Chains A and B, each alone.
Chain A
Amino acid sequence: MRTLSGRMPRRQARVAPSEHEPSGPLLRVEHVRLGYWTARQFTVAVEDVSFDVEAGERIIVIGPSGCGKSTLLKAIAGFIEPAGGLIQMAGRTSLAPGPDRAVVFQEFDQLFPWRSVLSNVAYPLRVNGHRRRAAIAKARQYLELTNLAHAADRYPHQLSGGMKQRVAIARALALDPTLLLMDEPFGSLDAITRQRLQTELNRIVEQTRVTLLFVTHSIEEALVLGDRIVVLGDAPSRVIATVDIRGLGGPETVEYSQMRGRLRELLAVDKEEVEEIGGLE
């Protein structure tokens, strides 16, 4: 672990070119360095990561556990300021958390327990200026999209884990995000439910044409959901490869298994535990 002591790294984040490029990529991540303070030292989680996301793309960020991929997502969401480098979203660089980058978290308890399913989806719309009726109508529409219309009046504690994650997806999508951020949303689900939700997410993304940035440590999930895969190494992490998998055949094809093999190799570069990384599928 590299450490940085004494110097507060927050300042650097503001050093960013302000030229507006409407024609550029939707999201630009340039030489981003991220970390966190423990007691008196700064621990680097992400050393130097760069990649672009074009509008309409589905980007998967994959990496071994603890490589800082969730930290990276939090930085893009605006919860953490980078210690270095630049995160530029639609030309803007000072990123406070906001609904244009709606997040679906891994935790099941990301729903407000005191609100019904419908209200969990409608409330953020109310916060963002929708009138009551419009918010409820739109919430219903997105609950239908995620096959949850029948559960609208239930409370979160009455739902299964998979249903909770679908509510969270509906809530995020209803906000019409420019970029949908997902932080291992299916990581705590059983294998069967996870697979079902992956299929469902693919359908939803296709229908809504939302730009997706999805963090995972599962190679299978990356291959099922992504257009491009950004592979991170061990912490403090760097991008070790960016792979375009558009037009890749299904799991039964040779290309697919070759790609899977390649990703396994890439992810095993720093660690010899191929099993751990690949075994989750």
Chain B
Amino acid sequence: MAVSSSAASIPRRPAAFGWARIPAIVRYPLVGAVLVAAWHYYAVHKGSLFMATPWQTVQEFWHGWRNGSLSEPTWATLRLLLEGIGIGAAIAAVLTAFATLSKIGEDALVLLTAVLNPLPGVAVLPIAMLLFGLNESAVRFVIANATIWPIAIAVSTGFKTANQTLVAVGRNVGLSRVRVITDVLAPAALPQAISGVRTAWAFGWRTIIAAELVFGVAGSSGGLGNYINNARQYFLTPQVFAGLLTIAILGVVFETLFGQLERRTVIRWGMKTS
């Protein structure tokens, strides 16, 4: 191998072999194409009653979003999910602030998270239905419960591991105890808070779909889980797949949004490496 004299001090990048040599922009579509092809042939083999082909799925997805039969349940689910997470995040914030200000609050938070965090979100649904009936409030309750604990754990970890020098600076410049929480601890805990909300989002999302699938509750309009379950009952298999595709796409969309949020905040501020 000839080494050019001008770049003698720069070692050559080790050569990649085989598959790794192909650029990523080609690699991923190729893998995707293979998977879609496998799906297609399996669907054809299985019969359209049980498996929709990729093309049928895409058609149904397009159709459902144009005439509203898929978009409406999706918005209904998303709205409920956001409400539930909003309630959950607000309660988590209050609990963590209280835990920071008092020992009793801290003990309560430790006990509550220890007991309630391991509970699968849907497991609380029967209680919610007893308390609220078969309606949206029950779902909100379940989502809130599924999201409070991961957020509270993340934020309180963030508070505890927050840089004590910054807290000292906050007090030194004249902040009150409450303002130390809002102006110093809260932003200092933002990396953990974002990852907490991310986890909460994943929990909530799984919980609401499961709740709708199993119990069919999501208010009068019916949600995405409902849509999938109904489609299954009537053997509208392409609709089942279109529903799943929607969930997958939303997952990617929200992951991207969280990534954006991090890039604009904690990564920009050097509080988290990308």
Distance in angstroms between the alpha carbons of A103 and B179 in the assembled complex:
19
0/1 string, B198-211, CB within 8 A of A gives 1: 00000000000000
Complex: chain B residue closest to A110, CB-CB = B165
Across the interface, A127 reaches (CB within 8 A) one of B168, B175, B190, B265, namely B175
* A157:B269 contact, CB within 8 angstroms: yes
What DSSP secondary structure best describes chain B's contact surface? helix
Which chain A residues border B174 with CB–CB below 8 Å? 97-99, 124, 127-128
Across the interface, B163 reaches (CB within 8 A) one of A99, A109, A124, namely A109
Complex: chain B residue closest to A98, CB-CB = B174
* A110:B169 contact, CB within 8 angstroms: yes
Distance in angstroms between the alpha carbons of A102 and B169 in the assembled complex:
9
B112 within 8 A of A: no
B64 within 8 A of A: no
Complex: chain B residue closest to A157, CB-CB = B270
Given contacts A105-B165, A105-B168, A110-B165, contact A124 B173 (CB under 8 A): yes
| Chain A interface bracket (under 10, 10 to 19, 20 to 34, 35 or more) | 20 to 34
Which chain B residues border A123 with CB–CB below 8 Å? 173
* B190:A99 contact, CB within 8 angstroms: no
Given contacts A114-B265, A155-B268, A157-B270, contact A109 B168 (CB under 8 A): no
A52 within 8 A of B: no
* A114:B172 contact, CB within 8 angstroms: no
Complex: chain A residue closest to B163, CB-CB = A109
Given contacts A99-B172, A102-B172, A124-B173, contact A107 B270 (CB under 8 A): no
A199 within 8 A of B: no
Nearest 5 Cβ contacts at the A-B interface: A157-B270, A124-B173, A97-B171, A107-B165, A114-B187
A interface with B by C-beta (< 8 Å): 77, 79, 97-99, 101-103, 105, 107, 109-110, 112-114, 123-124, 127-128, 155-158, 171, 175
A sample of 8 inter-chain contacts (CB < 8 A) reads A77-B172, A99-B172, A102-B172, A105-B165, A112-B169, A113-B271, A128-B173, A171-B173
B interface with A by C-beta (< 8 Å): 163, 165-166, 168-169, 171-175, 179, 183-184, 187, 190, 265, 268-271
